[in-house]
């Protein structure tokens, strides 16, 4: 009897932990989508500024017409929705897209559906996890977005119409461009093992601990004004000896704080109404964002997003549809997920039900 009670107690604790982790994940998704929306608005604002500064009447007419008439020829859709794959990638080899989200935007006012896809799903045809599909496509065919699209389409069962790959390190440039951000540091902590970029292979003059490869970070609780480099370190640190800060979960929470502060700064009138800053921000976007969206696509998409921006619904592909098989050479001894039923039909039905809600 005591053993049964103990099992029930542990089960309840695990359920509560999963709920807390899901809530944290959804908060991060909401912030990410908010920043994406702001970036779209910035691009649209820049289009208007560029047209006006160049006295390009044709551009103004085209932009106005696109917003007003939303011609069917200017965007792809199916069943009244535009489905976009958002990829978050780092500047590393291989380039892994550890953030993978499908954003389904309704053509008419309705719910914007955001679904996060676990990066550890195994793709049999690739012989790799799906977070390598962009990298494989880029190296083999020069079409990373295309292969990533088809990989995700197989899982969700609906077409991906457009895709956006965002280099998250570009956010440091955005932060510096807007004059820094004010981040609320919730807990003071120290990290004595933060890796220094460029010194990963330094021999440190024979030091067996390779201490020259690392620097010490300290953040004090309270509101801290951060430049891009500091914000990146704050959001990436995970080696603190503080048990509450030296984890991936704490790092995810700090990333939320940075993105939230950036969102607030981007909405500041000093930024929104500054042609100079908008030009710089668009230049960063052009350098660090890869997309198959055209100017017309962006204009129409901005309209669709703005008309439904208050009805964002966030989901994660349910764990109940997945299985985690034992480590094996078939999957390179990696931690992976496979479809529970042996195919993706369950997920297809679930995803379709979301789009109809």
Q: By residue range, what is the domain housing residue 59?
A: 37-163+281-355
Length of the chain: 357
Q: By the 8 A CB rule, do 110 and 104 touch?
A: no
Q: Is 5 exposed, middle or buried (0-12, 13-18, 19+ CB in 10 A)?
A: exposed
What is the Cα–Cα distance from 151 to 130, expressed in whole angstroms? Answer: 7
pLDDT tens for each residue of 305-320: 777 766 777 788 888 8
Average pLDDT on 113-132 reads 90
Average pLDDT on 198-211 reads 87
Average pLDDT on 251-261 reads 75
- The answer, as to whether pTM is greater than 0.75, is no
Average pLDDT on 299-310 reads 72
pLDDT tens for each residue of 322-334: 998 999 999 999 9
- Whether residue 156 sits in one domain with residue 73: yes
Domain boundary among 242, 267, 292: 267
CATH number assigned to the domain comprising residue 233: 3.40.630
Tally of domains in the chain: 2
pLDDT for position 55: 40
- Whether residue 211 sits in one domain with residue 115: no
pLDDT tens for each residue of 166-180: 887 777 888 999 999
273-275-278 Cα angle (round to 5): 90
SS3 76: coil
What is the Cα–Cα distance from 51 to 60, expressed in whole angstroms? Answer: 6
69 has pLDDT over 70: no
Average pLDDT on 284-295 reads 79
SS3 216: strand
Average pLDDT on 38-49 reads 46
45 has pLDDT over 60: no
Q: By the 8 A CB rule, do 54 and 296 touch?
A: no
Average pLDDT on 194-217 reads 88
110 has pLDDT over 60: yes
Residue 259's alpha-carbon distances to 88, 157, 172, in angstroms, are: 14, 31, 11
- 259 band by pLDDT with thresholds 50, 70 and 90: confident
Cis ω for the linkage preceding 162 (within 30 of 0): no
- Whether residue 209 sits in one domain with residue 345: no
């Amino acid at each position: 009897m005591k053993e049964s009670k103990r099992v029930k107690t542990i089960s309840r604790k695990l359920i509560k932990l999963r709920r807390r982790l899901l809530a944290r994940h959804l908060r991060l998704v909401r912030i990410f989508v908010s920043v994406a929306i702001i970036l779209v608005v910035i691009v649209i604002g820049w289009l208007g500024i560029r047209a006006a500064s160049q006295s390009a009447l044709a551009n103004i007419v085209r932009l106005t017409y696109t917003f007003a008439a939303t011609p069917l020829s200017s965007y792809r859709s199916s069943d009244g929705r535009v489905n976009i794959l958002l990829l978050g990638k780092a500047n590393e080899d291989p380039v892994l897209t550890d953030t993978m989200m499908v954003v389904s935007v309704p053509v008419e006012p309705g719910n914007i559906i955001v679904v996060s896809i676990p990066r550890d799903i195994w793709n049999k045809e690739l012989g790799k996890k799906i977070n390598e599909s962009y990298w494989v496509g880029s190296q083999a065919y020069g079409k990373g977005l295309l292969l990533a699209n088809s990989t995700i389409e197989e899982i969700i069962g609906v077409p991906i119409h457009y895709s956006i790959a965002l280099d998250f390190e570009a956010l440091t440039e955005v932060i510096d461009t807007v004059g820094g951000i004010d981040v609320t540091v919730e807990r003071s902590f120290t990290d004595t093992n933060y890796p220094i970029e460029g010194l990963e292979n330094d021999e440190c003059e024979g030091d067996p601990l390779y201490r020259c490869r690392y620097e010490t970070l300290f953040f004090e609780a309270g509101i801290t004004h951060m430049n891009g480099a500091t914000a990146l370190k704050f959001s990436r640190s995970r080696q603190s000896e503080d048990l509450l800060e030296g984890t991936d979960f704490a790092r995810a929470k700090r990333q939320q704080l940075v993105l939230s502060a950036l969102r607030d700064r981007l909405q500041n009138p000093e930024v929104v109404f500054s042609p100079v800053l908008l030009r710089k921000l668009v230049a960063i976007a052009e350098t660090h964002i890869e997309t198959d969206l055209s100017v017309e696509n962006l204009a129409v998409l901005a309209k669709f997003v703005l008309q439904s921006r208050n009805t964002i619904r966030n989901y994660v592909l349910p764990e109940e549809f997945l299985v985690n098989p034992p480590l094996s050479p078939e999957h390179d001894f990696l931690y992976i997920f496979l479809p529970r039923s042996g195919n993706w039909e369950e997920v297809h039905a679930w995803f379709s039900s979301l789009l109809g809600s």
